[in-house]
Amino acid sequence: MAKARNLSTLLAADGQVEDAKIDGVAASKLTGALPAIDGASLTNVVAVSGVATDATKLPLAGGAMTGAITTNSTFDTRDVATDGTKLDTIETSATADQTDAEIKAAVNNATDSNTFTDADHTKLNNIEDNATADQTGAQIKTAYEAETSAFTDAQFTKLANIEASADVTDATNVVAALTAGTGITISAGGTVAAGPLALTTVQTASSQSAHLALTAEEGDIVVRSDENKSYVHNGGSAGTMADYTLLATPTDAVLSVNGQTGAITAAQLKTAVIPSQSGNSGKFLTTDATNASWATVDALPTQSGNAGKYLTTDATNASWAVLDTDSNTTTKGLYEHAHTIAANYSITSGNNALAAGPITINTGITVTIPSGSTWVIA
């Protein structure tokens, strides 16, 4: 029976088998399976010279293994199948030490349409808070018109009312636009001519509420059919009847003017008031307190050679007479004068006065006699 050997007697302190211990061992002694080695480290076990090797056996050091290795357990507590599946999903050249910049560049370069890029980030920052993409046209229009210098509906209407190819430098067009419907004409030389112009606008209303609802300016007339009265706008802005003044109306209606009835024109009024002028050249208009008529003007006597004279008449003919300011005689035999002095009178300085009495001087009336003059009442 072979003698059993303790393995510790074959190993040196460093775990190596000394050549001297096995060099003399016959090869026949090393055949067969090795017994199990408990607790011994096989690290750095050197090849045993002279010991035959089996190509089907994996040497303790070196060598290559071919074929697939399978296990129904784990290696070093790791599940090889699970770890293999995880490893298969990692792309080639993948690293775990990519920088933020490298990761960001990879994301930006990705072809996936859902990639969030720097441009997307900038776009998102430029969208105001609570912005929506479902605003209606009316909401967008309201928001736009709230902006300064926005193009408004009023401006659109104004623009729409301007005719195509309008030219404010075309004098003909400008004049036509200014004068259309006004009755005013402007000549090429700039002369303005106007036909009859209404100074006021006359409107009608059947009630006070309808009256106040009218658009009126100062001077406009409103005829109230419910009151049979007329009002004129006085320029007020209270929006009440205080803005209107009631026009005074005659108590009796005018039915005719000198036989003329209905709407009387200026020509008819002239005919009604003034007698016919035909055949009355050189005459003057007179009245007998009832009717107007033309009368002949008495011709004046010739004025030639009658300087300083006064015009007098004998009730039939007019003539010139000499005013005798120096004569103290009269052909009538008597001088007559009123016996009542009803107006202030002053005797000419240097003259005397003679009156036949008695003389009455009215209360408050004064007769002035200059110094050196005398007034004799006989």
CATH topology of domain 202-249: Seminal Fluid Protein  PDC-109 (Domain B) (2.10.10)
**Cβ 306 vs Cβ 312: under 8 Å:** no
pLDDT at 51 over 80: no
pLDDT at 39 over 50: no
Strand segments (E) across the chain = 184-186, 192-194, 202-205, 221-224, 229-233, 244-246, 256-257, 260-261, 284-287, 292-295, 310-313, 318-321, 340-341, 345-346, 353-355, 360-361, 367-368, 375-377
Domain ranges for the chain, please list them: 202-249, 260-295, 324-378
Question: Which is more confident, 199 or 302?
Answer: 302
The confidence score (pLDDT) of residue 184 equals 79
What mean pLDDT, rounded, does the chain reach? 78
pLDDT at 104 over 70: yes
**What's the rounded mean pLDDT across residues 111-133?**
80
Tell me the range of 28-37, 68-77, 106-115, 276-285 where mean pLDDT is highest: 276-285
The confidence score (pLDDT) of residue 26 equals 59
The confidence score (pLDDT) of residue 1 equals 45
Nearest-angstrom CA–CA distance, 372 and 202? 77
What confidence category does residue 241 fall into, taking pLDDT thresholds of 50, 70 and 90? very high
Torsion-angle region of 188 (φ positive above 0: left; ψ -120 to 50: alpha; else: beta) = alpha
pLDDT at 268 over 80: no
% of the chain with per-residue pLDDT over 90: 15
What confidence category does residue 281 fall into, taking pLDDT thresholds of 50, 70 and 90? confident
Task: Give the range among 4-8, 229-233, 371-375 with minimum mean pLDDT.
Answer: 4-8
Nearest-angstrom CA–CA distance, 104 and 226? 87
Helices (H), 161-207: 171-179
Nearest-angstrom CA–CA distance, 271 and 252? 23
Stated pTM of the model: 0.22
Q: Is 161 helix (H, G, I), strand (E, B) or coil?
A: coil
Give residue 246's Cα distance to chain centre.
Answer: 37
DSSP 101-160: HHHHHHHHT---TT---HHHHHHHHTSPTT--S---HHHHHHHHHTSTT---HHHHHHHH
Question: Which is more confident, 93 or 232?
Answer: 232
The confidence score (pLDDT) of residue 240 equals 94
Cα distance from N-terminal residue to C-terminal residue, the chain: 220
**What's the rounded mean pLDDT across residues 169-182?**
76
In one-letter notation, the amino acid at residue 114 is N
**What's the rounded mean pLDDT across residues 323-350?**
80
